[in-house]
């Protein structure tokens, strides 16, 4: 078990970090890209994990010089995701960390998902009631890689940023954590791959 005893607060990203939902997320984006004329690049979409959907659409418009309506594309992607039959499972490695520290540390989730989706998914897995706070795309003005998501979580936990550790699975999320002045632990393919950064 990773030693987090020197920290006063723990923050998990949700998709791809605490919940194995990146595959579902990418499948929904594939359908969306096909409908709205974006070339589909699974690696690029994965690299944007944690970025709110509206901002992802803005980035796709800019990258491919397409002028699609941002709200329309984001709404379609959300509906496409909701139509997928599987409910993503929790990731054992990060769940073990969550369960080990939940009684000794305040734990929050900071996600680029919208609140409705995050609450549904975390409630399904009986996680949400254990959280000190949930920060979603609906709660911030600036999504990842901006540090606002994690700074808001730290403030709500009454923990200084430098006393927080963040678990993330994307470089965008890692940058947000480091720019917030927090330590970051990376998760790749469901495994904790690095020590404290």
List pLDDT tens digits, range 86-129. Answer: 788 999 999 999 999 999 999 999 999 889 989 999 999 999 99
* Residues acting as catalytic residues: 13
Quick one: average pLDDT of 44-52? 84
Distance CA 50, CA 148 (A): 12
Query: Residue 173 is encoded by which pair of tokens?
Result: 């999320």
Q: Where are the domains of the chain?
A: 9-21+89-192, 22-83
List pLDDT tens digits, range 138-192. Answer: 999 999 999 999 999 999 999 999 999 999 998 999 999 999 999 999 999 889 9
CATH number of 9-21+89-192: 3.40.50.1000
Name the CATH architecture for the domain at 22-83. Answer: Orthogonal Bundle (1.10)
At 187, give phi and psi (nearest 5°): -120, 125
Burial 105-144 (b: 16+ CB within 10 A, else e): bbbbbbbbbbeebbeebbeeeebeeebbbbbbbebbeebb
């Amino acid at each position: 078990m990773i030693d987090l005893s020197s920290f006063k607060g723990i923050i998990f990203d949700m998709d791809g970090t605490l919940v194995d939902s990146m595959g579902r997320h990418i499948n929904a984006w594939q359908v969306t890209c096909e409908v709205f004329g974006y070339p589909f690049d699974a690696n690029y979409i994965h690299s944007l994990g944690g970025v709110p959907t509206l901002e992802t659409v803005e980035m796709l418009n800019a990258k491919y010089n397409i002028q699609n309506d941002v709200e329309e594309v984001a709404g379609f992607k959300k509906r496409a995701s909701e139509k997928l039959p599987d409910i993503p499972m929790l990731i054992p490695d990060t769940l073990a960390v969550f369960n080990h520290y939940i009684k000794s540390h305040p734990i929050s989730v900071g996600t680029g998902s919208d609140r409705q989706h995050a609450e549904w998914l975390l409630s399904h897995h009986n996680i949400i009631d254990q959280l000190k706070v949930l920060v979603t795309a609906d709660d911030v003005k600036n999504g990842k890689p901006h540090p606002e998501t994690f700074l808001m979580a730290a403030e709500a936990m009454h923990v200084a940023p430098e006393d927080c550790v963040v678990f993330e699975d994307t470089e965008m999320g890692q940058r947000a954590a480091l720019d917030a002045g927090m330590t970051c632990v990376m998760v790749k393919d469901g495994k904790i791959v690095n020590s404290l950064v």
